[in-house]
Structure 1
Amino acid sequence: VIVVNGGLVVHPNTCAQVPMNGRKTLLLLLLAWIHPGDGLYFHIGETEKKCFIEEIPDETMVIGKYRTQLWDKQTSSFLPSTPGLGMHVEIKDPDTKIILSRQYGSDGRFTFTSHTPGEHQICLHSNSTKMALFAGGKLRVHLDIQVGEHTNNYPEIAAKDKLTELQLRVRQLLDQVEQIQKEQNYQRYREERFRMTSESTNQRVLWWSIAQTLILIVTGIWQMKHLKSFFEAKKLV
């Protein structure tokens, strides 16, 4: 289980999310020893793709930063940099529409803004087939994903707008409140979808039960008529 700044909790090998209740518990436990600004790293092989799922409210900015390290068989260690090696980033919204698909270098930064609330899929894979050096080897990718108000560079904002320390703090609080409101709206959206799904499931179960009852009644009537005809043919009645 890996925690990324902004609330991402995923297993990189399965591209599966931890359930909501378990995710909150794990987040509280892990935040005790993981700094909220830390990212993660994972290993990928040749032509392998890694995907992560992030639940994002609508109209929320997401910034991802990554850097790659190539495995050196001679020194049995990862090289500090991998010039010439590229990384392809593809992002899909909850409707599986591609909102970003671009080739970057060995180190890169990608940004996008969500327009639909829900699970966004972030996938990365290297152009390893173009590099004989990487063929058959493995690559370490360091990834940091920041969501919402975590994407703001407050020192830069303070310098640009000439804000005092108090004004900057107020700006941070306002951004945090705005992000909390977006999260609350997203939770309401999820609850509404869950309620609609539950109602739809209950209706289907009800109609299926009615259909089963009708089938049993029709089958029983048919069997009674069939038995009556059989007994009449045998002159038993």
Structure 2
Amino acid sequence: MSVELIANKAVLPIMVNIRLSRALYLVFKVSRFVSALYFHIGETEKKCFIEEIPDETMIIGNYRTQLYDKQKEEYLPATQGLGMFVEVKDPDEKVILSRQYGSEGRFTFTSHTPGEHQICLHSNSSKFSLFAGGMLRVHLDIQVGEHTNNYAEIAAKDKLTELQLRVRQLVEQVDQIQKEQNYQRYREERFRQTSESTNQRVLWWSIVQTLILVAIGFWQMRHLKSFFEAKKLV
């Protein structure tokens, strides 16, 4: 009995650590593909965000705006006339989305090049000028990959059972993980190329410096020799 009790006490912390590690891993995976935040923006101010996205990945951004009411001293939902302009650029600085939206809405785009995508938002200044001096609060929620899917709608539309829906979720999660792995390999390859290029530049610069020092030393020796010959010291 005492041996069994000791064994249970030894196994229990390990099981707790395993469960905690799994929970932390799930939290990390969810936070990696879903990001919600809010920020303040002025009348002519532009806010940009950088999102690292694999190729062929869908991104959905949901936003809503609030305008500060000086009388009530709180943020209230913005009027319908107030708009937001959204612009998205891929890693090659190519514009893949440029559109005017309302005070609340959703924008969607699909990445075709892996890397850092720039998502910029700014207010419709012509409408916002009515509230000169005020600040606009923008709530932004960005969803990446399989998190853009509404599985409740998919199950109702395709008439999937709970097991079939779960299998479909797992398949899409595996597909997203593969895209992430490919993107990490792409980043590793680019980093390796950058490192090799830097090493080659350092090597060539060292050779050039050595040649310059040799040339300067040779020139100094000839100059000193000419000086001593002119002074008839040699």
C-alpha deviations, 1:157-203, integer Å up to 9, x for none?
00010000000000000000000000000000000000000000000
More helix by share: 2
TM-score (norm 2): 0.85
Match of 1:167 in 2: 164
Give 1:45 shift. Answer: 1.0
Q: State the Cα RMSD in Å.
A: 1.8
The separation in 2 between residues aligned to 1:52 and 1:131, in whole angstroms, is 22
Give 1:83 shift. Answer: 1.7
- Residue 222 in structure 1 maps to residue 219 in structure 2: yes
Give the alignment partner of residue 202 of structure 1, picking from 199, 216, 220: 199
Match of 1:96 in 2: 93
Structure 2 residue ranges without an equivalent (≥5): 1-23
Structure 1 residue ranges without an equivalent (≥5): 1-27
Match of 2:130 in 1: 133
Give 1:38 shift. Answer: 6.4
Match of 2:41 in 1: 44
Whether the aligned pair in 2 keeps the contact of 1:88 and 1:127 (CA below 8 Å) is: yes
C-alpha deviations, 1:114-133, integer Å up to 9, x for none?
00000000000001333333
Q: Which amino acid aligns with 1:148?
A: G
C-alpha deviations, 1:70-89, integer Å up to 9, x for none?
11111111113422100000
- SS state at 1:83 partner: coil
Q: Which amino acid aligns with 2:130?
A: L
- SS state at 2:186 partner: helix
TM-score (norm 1): 0.84
The separation in 1 between residues aligned to 2:215 and 2:197, in whole angstroms, is 27
The separation in 2 between residues aligned to 1:178 and 1:107, in whole angstroms, is 31
- SS state at 2:77 partner: coil
- SS state at 1:39 partner: strand
- SS state at 2:223 partner: helix
Choose 1 or 2 for highest CA Rg: 2
- Residue 157 in structure 1 maps to residue 150 in structure 2: no
Q: Which moved more, 1:105-114 or 1:123-132?
A: 123-132
Would you say how many aligned residue pairs link Structure 1 and Structure 2? Answer: 208
